């Protein structure tokens, strides 16, 4: 009987087209390829369109791509949490207003409380500021989670109310004023032109470590499949994934290293460190900015949490079938509360990046961020029906959204046009998700 099944399976595999066989062997998500294709079209389109309008394409330049990655960081961080929120069949509409409130609170803490008390140059100010942001975000997330999990109020209503309430609280704390400047050490979190990057050499080292992590991850996954007697990917498929992953990592390093420091900053650095300046000027690479590293770190931690921990398995189980998960002994209320607390902490991280990048805090910091985060998550392949979504997909979706924003800004699109396009992209992404789920079913 088993021989007949194996023969039938072999016949089906042999009847597959080469393309289907390739995707089955490599296990690449076709929706991920769709996002990559959309990203390439956006980048090339803005480059060509910019060349037609201005006579010079400025989108695909190291400087713009470096800034694009910095600008994407805050949305990418929040999208890693929004994935799991939507996977659980919930939604959080309050993240933008929450970011405003948390950013204002940490700004006030630094400028009005900590600086007069500890001194303006105290190195502990940024540490306390970050802890305040994480604590405030966790507290607001816990409030959302408690009302949803234990009071039984739908997440749409709770977080819609939070959107209004937190925005009002942000305005109330500073009465519409702007709090500035932030602590000098705190500014480094935002990727400002004050030296918040790690340089070319360290970036190449990081790129090598990323390649090593990809190789180790492939081998660990292969050994785990062998241990549990799961089907293995062909060797050529594993090699292909390693080559592509390393090419992306090292290519990204090459791009961020191709953007040099501003000449005056480089000269000032050379003077402070007694470095001789050659005739053509000192050329130093930016490398990765600190917000990029924060986003990468958060993405790695959240991916591990979603795929390798009991908490992550419970989240996907709840999203797949809440009733079955509860009957299986999963404390769905506690997991929901914890997930919204985690979302709040991620908002705290994003608030630090945003406030540090602008070197100021105001109640308009997170305006429309909830739209961009949800759009990035849905574009990244997360199903609004729950149960399906990946961290890396959401981060790629954030890059797609920010690419649209950045390209339209470079080409001087009206704000109204930008809003129309972003909203249309969100609706289109949901429509594509509906079509994909119908075909899968």
Instruction: Give 193's pLDDT tier (boundaries 50, 70, 90).
Output: low
pLDDT on residue 195: 64
Instruction: Give 230's pLDDT tier (boundaries 50, 70, 90).
Output: confident
pLDDT on residue 337: 97
pLDDT on residue 21: 85
Q: Give how far Cα 201 sits from Cα of 62, 271, 286, 378, Å.
A: 17, 20, 10, 36
pLDDT on residue 2: 45
Task: Tell me which of 19-33, 318-332, 398-412 is least confident.
Answer: 19-33
Tokens of 33: 């390829």
Q: Cis omega (within 30 of 0) on the bond before 165? A: no
Is residue 351 a contact partner of residue 366, using CB atoms and an 8 Å limit? yes
Burial of 402 (0-12, 13-18, 19+ CB in 10 A): buried
Q: What are phi and psi of 303, to 5 degrees?
A: -65, -45
Residues of the chain with CATH 1.10.3470: 62-188+297-416
Instruction: Give 120's pLDDT tier (boundaries 50, 70, 90).
Output: confident
Burial of 352 (0-12, 13-18, 19+ CB in 10 A): buried
Q: Has residue 300 got a pLDDT over 50? A: yes
pLDDT on residue 374: 92
Instruction: Give 425's pLDDT tier (boundaries 50, 70, 90).
Output: confident
Q: Has residue 196 got a pLDDT over 80? A: no
Domain 62-188+297-416 has CATH 1.10.3470: yes
- Considering the chain, what is the average pLDDT of its residues? 88
Mean pLDDT of 252-271: 85
pLDDT on residue 5: 45
Say what percent of the chain tops pLDDT 70. Answer: 95
d(CA 390, CA 388): 7
Task: Tell me which of 28-42, 98-112, 244-258 is least confident.
Answer: 28-42
Instruction: Give 274's pLDDT tier (boundaries 50, 70, 90).
Output: confident
Q: 197 has which bridge partners?
A: 289
């Amino acid at each position: 009987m088993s021989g007949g099944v194996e023969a039938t399976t072999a016949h089906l595999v042999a009847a597959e087209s080469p393309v289907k066989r390739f995707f089955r062997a490599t296990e690449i998500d076709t929706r991920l390829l769709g996002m990559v294709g959309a990203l390439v079209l956006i980048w090339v389109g803005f480059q060509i369109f910019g060349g037609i309008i201005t006579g010079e394409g400025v989108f695909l330049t190291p400087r713009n791509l470096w800034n694009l990655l910095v600008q994407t960081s805050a949305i990418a961080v929040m999208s890693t949490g929004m994935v799991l929120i939507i996977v659980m069949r919930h939604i959080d509409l309050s993240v933008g207003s929450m970011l405003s409130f948390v950013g204002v609170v940490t700004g006030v803490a630094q400028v009005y409380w900590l600086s007069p008390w500890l001194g303006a140059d105290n190195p502990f100010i940024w540490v306390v500021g970050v802890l305040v942001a994480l604590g405030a975000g966790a507290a607001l997330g816990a409030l959302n989670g408690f009302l949803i999990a234990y009071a039984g109020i739908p997440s749409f209503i709770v977080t819609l109310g939070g959107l209004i309430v937190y925005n009002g609280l942000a305005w109330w704390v500073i009465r519409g004023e702007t709090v500035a400047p932030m602590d000098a050490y705190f500014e480094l979190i935002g990727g400002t032109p004050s030296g918040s990057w790690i340089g070319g050499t360290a970036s190449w080292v990081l790129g090598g470590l990323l390649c090593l992590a990809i190789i180790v991850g492939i081998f660990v996954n292969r050994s785990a499949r062998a241990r549990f007697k799961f089907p293995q990917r062909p060797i050529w498929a594993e090699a292909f994934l390693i080559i592509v992953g390393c090419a992306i990592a090292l290519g990204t390093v090459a791009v961020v290293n191709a953007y040099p420091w501003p000449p005056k900053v480089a000269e000032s650095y050379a003077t402070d460190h007694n470095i001789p300046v050659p005739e053509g000027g000192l050329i130093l690479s930016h490398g990765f900015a600190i917000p990029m590293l924060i986003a990468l770190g958060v993405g790695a931690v959240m991916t591990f949490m979603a795929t390798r921990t009991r908490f992550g398995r419970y989240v996907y189980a709840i999203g797949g079938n809440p009733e079955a998960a509860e009957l299986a002994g999963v404390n769905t209320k506690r997991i929901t509360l914890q997930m919204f607390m985690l979302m709040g902490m991620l908002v705290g991280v994003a608030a630090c990046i945003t406030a540090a990048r602008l070197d100021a805090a105001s109640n308009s910091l997170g305006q429309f961020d909830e739209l961009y985060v949800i759009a990035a998550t849905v574009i990244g392949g997360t199903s609004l029906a729950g149960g399906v979504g990946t961290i890396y997909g959401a981060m790629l979706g954030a890059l797609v959204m920010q690419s649209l924003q950045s390209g339209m800004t470079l080409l001087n699109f009206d704000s109204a046009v930008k809003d129309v396009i972003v909203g249309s992209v969100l609706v289109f992404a949901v429509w594509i998700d509906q079509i994909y789920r119908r075909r899968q079913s």
